[in-house]
Copies of this chain bind each other. A is one copy, B any other.
Amino acid sequence: MRYILAVDIGGTQLRAAVYPIDEPIAIKVERIPSHAPEETVLERLVSLARHLWPPDGSVDAIGVSVAGPTDPRRGLVMTTPNIKEWTDFPLADRLQEQLGPPVYLGNDANLAALAEWQFGAGRGHHNLLYLTISTGIGGGVIVDDRLLLGEHGLAAELGHVVVDSSRSAPICGCGFRGHLEAFSSGTAIERYVATELAAGKSSSLAGRPSAKQIAEAAREGDRLAIKAFRRAGTYLGIGVANYLHIFNPSCILLGGGVSRSGSLLREPFEASLREHVFHPSYLDDLTIAYAELGDDAGLLGAFALARMRLSLEPL
């Protein structure tokens, strides 16, 4: 049997899975905390991989999904949350030295887009936009059946575009002002509500509620909570309208925790999208759907990446 080993690296946990090369159904999956005393993350990752290694066959390639910016052409992790020692870190080379097979890596949101396109809600589309909306906003784009990477793999940072350049626009997690993420991420929703509460707005909420608590309050009719999701959805519609004009995709997929708030975000998002699209043709045959693969998107994307690179399919 021939296998692909897929790895999903997050700041708090490492996940790995073994897939037969011809189907996206893992025969083994395991997760461990990213950090432990007296062990580097790399050491933990190598042990996890060896632990999962299939005894009855060969691993043809290893795919790695990493939170944060990567350089997939050179196999570098540029930065990744909570793993300080991985700055411009040649992860692909280090893993290959220790494990043997070729290693291919990519950004988690990019690879989630790849996975949704190959195995999930985006199957059959040739031009697809994927947005994951959780604490931040990440993106991935399929252009004419290929993953958009850009010159150094830094493309598709869809949360980090200015949608409001006024001086009063909120600050993004990246430190810059007016980015889509600063309006429509879970963090942005939380910050908006906290600011309004501090300014004395009446609400069933108090203090610094989480996005989940705000969603619950909204479902119970809290006007501030509803307004917070409406604002996030409105800006998301502006951002996605921009992306329709830029990419003209046939499919938009929404993933991440905040997208699971259902109509709270989705209704104002779709209303704003329709309002901001500058020609109705962009909405012709446009599918808008939720991502399907959930937590498995990273592993499946790493699997898809490794398999495509192995077969020399263009990314």
Question: In the complex the two chains form, is A151's CB within 8 Å of B249's CB?
Answer: yes
Q: Which stretch from A38-46, A212-220, A276-284 is at the chain B interface? A: A276-284
Question: In the complex the two chains form, is A248's CB within 8 Å of B153's CB?
Answer: yes
Cβ-based interface call for A156 (8 A)? yes
A163 and B165 alpha carbons, distance in the complex (Å): 6
A157 and B277 alpha carbons, distance in the complex (Å): 11
Cβ-based interface call for A292 (8 A)? no
Smallest beta-carbon distance A127→chain B, Å: 5
Instruction: Among B175, B238, B248, B282, point to the contact of A165 (Cβ < 8 A).
Output: B238
Residue of B nearest to A164 (CB): B165
Question: In the complex the two chains form, is B69's CB within 8 Å of A162's CB?
Answer: no
Cβ-based interface call for A241 (8 A)? yes
Q: Mark A225-258, 1 if CB is under 8 A from B, else 0.
A: 0000000000100100110011111100000000
Cβ-based interface call for A51 (8 A)? no
Residue with the highest number of chain B CB atoms closer than 10 Å, among A179, A238, A278: A278
- Specify which chain B residues have a CB less than 8 angstroms from the CB of A279 in the assembled complex: 69, 154, 174
Question: In the complex the two chains form, is A247's CB within 8 Å of B155's CB?
Answer: yes
Smallest beta-carbon distance A141→chain B, Å: 8
Smallest beta-carbon distance A161→chain B, Å: 4
* A residues 65-107 in Cβ contact with B at 8 Å: 69, 78
Question: In the complex the two chains form, is B127's CB within 8 Å of A248's CB?
Answer: no
Cβ-based interface call for A131 (8 A)? no
Asked if A245 meets B157 with Cβ closer than 8 Å, knowing A126-B151, A162-B276, the reply is yes
Smallest beta-carbon distance A184→chain B, Å: 12
Question: In the complex the two chains form, is B154's CB within 8 Å of A281's CB?
Answer: yes
Cβ-based interface call for A152 (8 A)? yes
Question: In the complex the two chains form, is B248's CB within 8 Å of A151's CB?
Answer: yes
Smallest beta-carbon distance A153→chain B, Å: 7
Question: In the complex the two chains form, is A248's CB within 8 Å of B281's CB?
Answer: no
Cβ-based interface call for A59 (8 A)? no
Question: In the complex the two chains form, is B247's CB within 8 Å of A150's CB?
Answer: yes
Cβ-based interface call for A144 (8 A)? yes
Question: In the complex the two chains form, is A150's CB within 8 Å of B278's CB?
Answer: no
- Specify which chain B residues have a CB less than 8 angstroms from the CB of A282 in the assembled complex: 154
Residue with the highest number of chain B CB atoms closer than 10 Å, among A161, A164, A238, A241: A161
- Specify which chain B residues have a CB less than 8 angstroms from the CB of A21 in the assembled complex: none
A282 and B78 alpha carbons, distance in the complex (Å): 12
Cβ-based interface call for A143 (8 A)? yes
Cβ-based interface call for A31 (8 A)? no
* A residues 114-163 in Cβ contact with B at 8 Å: 126-127, 143-144, 146, 148-158, 160-163
Question: In the complex the two chains form, is A149's CB within 8 Å of B242's CB?
Answer: no
Cβ-based interface call for A311 (8 A)? no
Smallest beta-carbon distance A70→chain B, Å: 11
Question: In the complex the two chains form, is B149's CB within 8 Å of A278's CB?
Answer: no
